[in-house]
């Protein structure tokens, strides 16, 4: 059987008549009948018998249908893909983010993004930066979000925004009049401490920041994620140093953690990672829009970031992708998407 034979056969099995199959496939009824006759001549047996105005499948046709089920499912996917391509929503934007960003930052940005593009879809995954890099290089995800600076010849790293760092502690740990002052490293001397793995960018920075403290903090637990560090603080294990998103996340209703800003010798940022060799097409514009929502809608303290700062960051994002690619992407989008891209970022 040829591909066209299979398509006609499946359509008749679904509708029960050549007229219904013709409507389903947007062809004429005589064309369906002709193709069906040719299919039966090719296989050498009847596929349907006529009964009370309907085409009833023969036992051979029923067996054939079982073997063609995977093909029918694939055909539906192909049709859906074609329709989505025509509407500019071909495939979901696949996003991988480190656990802290995935749990505390990305949901708010995606909520806005899905409202702006109701026909689009996201696939979200939480992963460590190392796994994220593999996924990007294997084209398993389109956009990675991390707070760890990455230098790789096949990846484009874009700064989305800065990220403040905080020490968090159980309620009542520090006097209230000290909460507005930055925490000094000496104040952690001998204190029960939840450390972040030094393989992480923040973990290494905090370790360096505390290197001159004696006696050093008493490390109770070492963790790999900021979310887990916060959970341990909520369990009164000790103090932890985390990003601003984790620090401000809603904890248990029974406790409100204390927060104190930390001034590390190195700045922390949220980075967007993309594969340099990936054909951007509509994905690139979606990534830019997503970055704009991060800048404008999901930052912890909107009043602290001026419009000029936002414009500088937007220009930084724009420069990270070849201008010709951006122009081609924007040209392929509807005017509404372009409007959101500019107004949200600026």
**Residues β-bridged to residue 156:** 274
Torsion, CA 11, CA 15, CA 21, CA 25, rounded to 10: -60
| 50, 64: one domain | yes
Gap between the Cα atoms of 302 and 305, Å rounded: 6
pLDDT value at 285 more than 70:
no
Domain annotation covers residue 228: yes
Nearest to 136 by CA among 112, 116, 113, 152: 152
Domain annotation covers residue 74: no
Range of the domain at 283: 93-162+269-297
Residues 6+ apart with CB under 8 A from 173: 239, 258
Residues 6+ apart with CB under 8 A from 290: 93, 95, 109, 113, 143
| 172, 249: one domain | yes
**Residue 58 near residue 69, CB atoms below 8 Å:** no
CATH number of the domain at 193, please: 3.40.190.10
| 117, 150: one domain | yes
| 171, 226: one domain | yes
| 120, 247: one domain | no
Q: For residue 91, what pLDDT band results from cuts at 50, 70 and 90?
A: low
Structural domain count, the chain: 3
Gap between the Cα atoms of 167 and 275, Å rounded: 34
Domain annotation covers residue 336: no
Q: What pLDDT does 79 receive?
A: 72
Q: What pLDDT does 276 receive?
A: 81
Helix (H, G, I), strand (E, B) or coil at 83: helix
CATH number of the domain at 42, please: 1.10.10.10
First to last CA, the chain: 57
pLDDT tens sequence across 121-168: 778 899 988 899 988 888 888 888 898 888 888 888 888 778 889 999
**Residue 338 near residue 346, CB atoms below 8 Å:** no
Q: pTM here? A: 0.57
| 282, 134: one domain | yes
Domain annotation covers residue 140: yes
């Amino acid at each position: 059987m040829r591909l066209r034979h299979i398509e006609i056969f499946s359509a008749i099995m679904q509708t029960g008549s050549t007229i219904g199959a013709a409507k389903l496939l947007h062809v004429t009824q005589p064309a369906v009948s002709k193709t069906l006759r040719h299919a039966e001549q090719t296989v050498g047996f009847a596929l349907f018998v006529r009964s009370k105005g309907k085409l009833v499948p023969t036992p051979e046709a029923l067996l054939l249908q079982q073997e063609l089920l995977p093909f029918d499912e694939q055909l539906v996917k192909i049709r859906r893909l074609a329709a989505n391509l025509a509407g500019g929503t071909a495939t979901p934007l696949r996003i991988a983010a480190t656990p802290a960003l995935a749990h505390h930052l990305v949901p708010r940005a995606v909520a806005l993004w899905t409202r702006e593009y109701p026909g689009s879809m996201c696939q979200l995954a939480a992963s460590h930066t190392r796994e994220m890099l593999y996924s990007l290089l294997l084209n398993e995800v389109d956009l990675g979000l991390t707070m760890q600076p990455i230098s790789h010849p096949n990846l484009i790293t874009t700064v989305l925004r800065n990220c403040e760092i905080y020490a968090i502690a159980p309620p009542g740990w520090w006097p209230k009049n000290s909460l507005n002052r930055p925490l000094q490293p000496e104040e952690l001397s001998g204190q029960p401490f939840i450390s972040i793995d030094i393989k992480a960018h923040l973990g290494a920075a905090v370790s360096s920041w505390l290197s001159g403290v004696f006696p050093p903090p008493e490390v109770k637990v070492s963790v790999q994620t900021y979310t887990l560090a916060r959970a341990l603080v909520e369990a009164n294990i000790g103090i932890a140093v985390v990003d601003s998103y984790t620090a401000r996340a809603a904890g248990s209703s029974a406790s409100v953690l204390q927060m104190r800003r930390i001034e590390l010798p190195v700045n922390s940022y949220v980075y967007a990672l993309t594969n340099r060799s990936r054909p951007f097409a509509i994905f690139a514009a979606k990534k830019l829009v997503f970055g704009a929502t991060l800048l404008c809608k999901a930052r912890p303290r909107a009043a602290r970031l001026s419009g000029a700062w936002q414009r500088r960051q937007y220009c930084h994002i724009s420069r990270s992708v070849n201008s010709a690619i951006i122009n081609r992407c924007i040209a392929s989008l509807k005017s509404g998407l372009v409007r959101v891209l500019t107004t949200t970022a600026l």
